[in-house]
Amino acid sequence: MEYLWAPWRMEYIKEKKSDECIFCVLPPENDDAKNRILYRGSACFVIINVYPYSNGHLMVTPYRHLPCLTQANQDEMRETAALLQKSIEILRGEFNADGFNVGYNIGKSAGAGFDEHIHAHIVPRWTGDTNFMPVLSEVKVHPEHIQATYDRLIPHFKKLTL
Cβ–Cβ under 8 Å, residues 39 and 153: no
Integer CA distances (angstroms), 113 to 36, 75, 94, 117, in order? 18, 25, 27, 9
Provide the whole-model pTM. 0.82
Q: Could you say which of 119, 121, 145, 156 is catalytic?
A: 119
Residue-wise pLDDT for 10-33, tens only, equals 665 666 666 789 999 999 999 999
pLDDT at 151 over 90: yes
Domain boundaries, the chain: 18-158
Q: Mark whether 119 is an active-site residue.
A: yes
Taking residues 100-126, what's their average pLDDT? 88
Residue-wise pLDDT for 54-67, tens only, equals 889 999 999 999 99
Taking residues 140-160, what's their average pLDDT? 85
Architecture category of domain 18-158 in CATH = 2-Layer Sandwich (3.30)
pLDDT at position 136, please? 39
Q: Which residue has the higher pLDDT, 20 or 70?
A: 70
